[in-house]
Chains A and B, each alone.
Chain A
Amino acid sequence: MENKQDNELMYLVAEKNTQALKIIYKRYEMRVFNFIYRYTGSRGVAQELIQETFTRLWFSAHLFDERKGNFKGWLYTMALNITRNEMSKKEYLYGFKVMDETVQHLSTNNNGIRETPEQLYEESETRNSVINALTQLKPYIREVIILKNYDHLKFKEIAEVTGAPEGTVKARYLKGIDILKAILNPKEVINHV
């Protein structure tokens, strides 16, 4: 079953096959979790929403239709809608403060190699500044930046996921990059002023 395509697995999930769900989860766990984390700026919220996303996937697997689009886009649309709803429901106003949890889970990097405290600090600082910068963007701009930069979706795919026209998506991306450039390179801003 491991070798099956996403579409094939989704048909099995629709038939309530938990094994298929587990394989899909393992394939997309990191992408979905990091997408929500970068969007909300909160690891706790991301933890909560990844569960909701895959639970929703379980219930709505029968609605997936590969003729209407690929699975990745469908999953991102679902994750994005859940995140948007949650954010507006809880009235976070999309302005999170980065939580103090970053250092804790950075003690081991992705390759499983333990990092020195200096490396940890530096990485934590970078992460905090980037996540902070992202949370300062308007949500409709932030989602485009995240989907493009981290999830490597094409602009056309982002347009499908967000429901905005492709031209609008590109304009949002350009605007977001300009804002991030100003936030992440304060010296440059001062020089311009």
Chain B
Amino acid sequence: MCNINKNRLLALYFHEGTEREDKKIRGHVEQCSECRDYLLQLEETTNLLNSVTEVKPLDGTLDMIVDTLPLNAPENIQTVEWAKTDILPLKSIISIVGILLFITGSLVFLYFFHDKLDFLPFWDALEKSWAGKYLGSWGMAAILFFLFGTFISMALTPVLILENQSKKYRYYFG
């Protein structure tokens, strides 16, 4: 079985390779019946695909398009500028606020509960804490990961929503 990379056969068939590469592959194909068969099958399939004639759109399509176009469109383009300049900084601000909220929340939590959850040294304190006794070390780890993930998701959600909205603007105006 011939182990030549078929991409090279494609390059030869569609004349997309370099002259040198084409010459090399052509030399191989002359020797290799398997590659010749493959190229023949490729030609048959592409010929069959190409045998289908083209169809025309309905007459008057162009008129329908032109009739619906507002001739003074730059007003709409202004909206694109707004979407690009105003939404992006807003997204950054929201993500920063989200992160600050997370940090502040963590500090507040530590301030009020540090006597119950002595975090230093981190892991030992967790295990010895009142929650650690009930949940065990793995349970505590799971809870912490869950809380961390929740905070991150909450911080990112507005960003993702706005990102989606700005895509809609780009979709509509190009």
Residue among A46, A167, A181 with the most chain B CB within 10 A?
A181
Contacts known (A22-B66, A33-B57, A59-B73); A130 close to B6, Cβ less than 8 A: no
CB-defined interface of A3-44 with B at 8 Å, one 1/0 digit per residue? 000000000000010100110011001100110010000010
A145 lies within 8 A of B55 (CB): no
Residues of chain B from 49 to 102 with CB closer than 8 A to chain A in the complex: 49-58, 61-62, 64-66, 68-69, 71-74, 76-77
Q: For the side of the interface on A, what is the size category?
A: 35 or more
Cα of A155 to Cα of B51 in the assembled complex, Å: 22
- Distance in Å: Cβ of B31 to nearest Cβ of chain A: 22
Report which of B6, B46, B171, B174 forms a contact with A174, defined as CB distance below 8 A: B6
Do residues B57 and A47 form an inter-chain contact, with CB atoms below 8 A?
yes
Complex-state Cα separation, A185 to B42, whole angstroms: 12
Distance, CA A37 to CA B55, complexed state (A): 8
Q: A177 touching B45 by the CB < 8 A rule?
A: yes
| Cβ–Cβ contact B56 & A51, under 8 A | no
B138-152 toward A: CB 8 Å interface, digit per residue (1/0)?
000000000000000
CA distance A149 to B10 in the complex (A): 12
Q: Which residues of A contact B53 (CB under 8 A)?
A: 106, 109-110, 123, 127
Residues of A close to B74: CB separation below 8 A: 16
Query: Are B171 and A126 within 8 A (Cβ)?
Result: no
User: Do B174 and A33 touch (CB < 8 A)?
Assistant: no
Residues in B whose Cβ lies below 8 Å from that of A70: none
Q: Is the C-beta of B173 less than 8 angstroms from some C-beta in chain A?
A: yes
Task: List residues of chain A with CB within 8 A of the CB of B51.
Answer: 126, 130
Tell me, rounded to whole Å, the shortest Cβ–Cβ distance linking A149 to chain B. 5
| Closest-CB distance, A142 to chain B (whole angstroms) | 11
For A109, the closest partner residue in chain B by CB is B53
Contacts A25-B65, A55-B65, A155-B16 given; does A47 touch B58 at CB 8 Å: yes
B76 with A105: CB separation less than 8 A: no
A59 touching B49 by the CB < 8 A rule? no
CA distance A95 to B7 in the complex (A): 29
**A29 nearest CB neighbor, chain B only:** B57
Partner pick for B52 among A105, A127, A170, A174, CB 8 A cutoff: A127
Cα(A46)–Cα(B6), bound, Å = 33
B52 x A126 contact (CB < 8 A): yes
The reply to whether B61 and A60 contact each other, CB–CB distance below 8 Å, is: no
Q: Can you report 12 A-B residue pairs in the complex whose CB atoms are below 8 A from each other?
A: A18-B66, A21-B66, A30-B56, A34-B55, A50-B61, A51-B61, A130-B51, A130-B52, A145-B49, A150-B50, A174-B7, A174-B10
A-contacting residues of B (Cβ < 8 Å)? 6-7, 10, 14, 16, 41-42, 44-46, 48-58, 61-62, 64-66, 68-69, 71-74, 76-77, 171, 173-174
Apart from A50-B61, A145-B49, list 8 A-B contacts with CB within 8 A.
A16-B71, A18-B69, A47-B58, A62-B77, A126-B51, A148-B14, A154-B14, A180-B45
